[in-house]
Amino acid sequence: MSLLTVWSDADATTPLIQTPDPEVIGRELAGVGVSYRRFDTRDDVPLDAGQEEVLAAYSDLVGGLVAEHGYTLIDVAQLHLSEESPDSVKETAAVARLKFLSEHTHDEEEIRFFSHGSGVFYLHIGDRVLGMLCTAGDLLSVPALTTHWFDMGTMPDFTAIRFFRTDDGWVGTFTGSDIAERFPTHDELAEVASHA
Ligand SMILES: [Fe+2]
């Protein structure tokens, strides 16, 4: 289940808001300029499907977003780890997790559609941090230059379609802040969501 948690950026222990309600989530995110939409997912796409197969399965959604927003580059990012995964795969995933786990910005918006699994976007906007645990069916658009970080968890399991306008739109500019270390992780928020 998706879950939005909002904190003061000075207090990571006391949520100001915590909700799984899609309507409240959409309203809160829209209030800070972040677009959040829900789409149906398909249950006929195998976990080992490659990029072409995933994009073909979601061609209507992708085509609609391209027509609406003019994205020029679409790809699929996915990791499916389990306890049984080989250590080498776990090490690769740990490196991938660290890459965007510190606060950063991008010169273009960051758009992700989760067709499977989960990941948390932490948006640091004004004096608040909005932690959005995205799950299958969520489309999130983080505006250009928004300070944020992303946690895929210690056992990454997700398939995300990514939309870009330029070849290097995903390059991160890191702020050098250690704020991300103070906030609950993907694993902790996923645990909360499982009881919500
Ligand atoms: Fe990012």
Residue 161 in contact with residue 113, Cβ under 8 Å? yes
Task: Check residue 166 and give its pLDDT.
Answer: 83
Q: Tell me how far the alpha carbon of residue 97 lies from the centroid of ligand 1, in angstroms.
A: 12
* Per-residue model confidence as pLDDT tens digits over 1-38: 999 999 999 999 999 999 999 999 999 999 999 999 99
Task: Check residue 147 and give its pLDDT.
Answer: 97
Q: Tell me how far the alpha carbon of residue 152 lies from the centroid of ligand 1, in angstroms.
A: 12
* H or E element at residue 134: strand 128-135
Q: Tell me how far the alpha carbon of residue 173 lies from the centroid of ligand 1, in angstroms.
A: 9
Residue 121's SS3 state is: strand
Q: Tell me how far the alpha carbon of residue 190 lies from the centroid of ligand 1, in angstroms.
A: 20
Tell me how far apart the alpha carbons of residues 51 and 151 are, in angstroms, rounded to a whole number: 22
Task: Check residue 53 and give its pLDDT.
Answer: 97
For range 66-80, the mean pLDDT:
94
Q: How confident is the model at residue 134 (pLDDT cuts 50, 70, 90)?
A: very high
Residue 171 has pLDDT above 90, yes or no: no
Q: Could you state, in order of their start, the residue ranges of all structural domains in the chain?
A: 3-42+64-195
For range 88-105, the mean pLDDT:
95
Task: Check residue 100 and give its pLDDT.
Answer: 93
Average pLDDT, the chain: 95
Q: Tell me how far the alpha carbon of residue 110 lies from the centroid of ligand 1, in angstroms.
A: 6
Residue 53's SS3 state is: helix
Task: Check residue 167 and give its pLDDT.
Answer: 77
End-to-end CA distance of the chain: 8
Six-digit token string for 138: 């969520």
Query: Residue 6: CB partners within 8 Å, gap ≥ 6?
Result: 15, 16, 17, 18, 28, 128, 129, 130, 131
Task: Check residue 88 and give its pLDDT.
Answer: 95
Q: What pTM value is reported for the model? A: 0.96
Task: Check residue 170 and give its pLDDT.
Answer: 76
* Per-residue model confidence as pLDDT tens digits over 74-87: 999 999 999 999 99
CATH code of the domain occupying 3-42+64-195: 2.60.120.10
Q: Tell me how far the alpha carbon of residue 104 lies from the centroid of ligand 1, in angstroms.
A: 6
Percent of the chain predicted with pLDDT > 90: 95
* CA neighbor of 3 nearest in space, from 193, 194, 195: 193
Q: Tell me how far the alpha carbon of residue 146 lies from the centroid of ligand 1, in angstroms.
A: 9
Q: Tell me how far the alpha carbon of residue 170 lies from the centroid of ligand 1, in angstroms.
A: 7
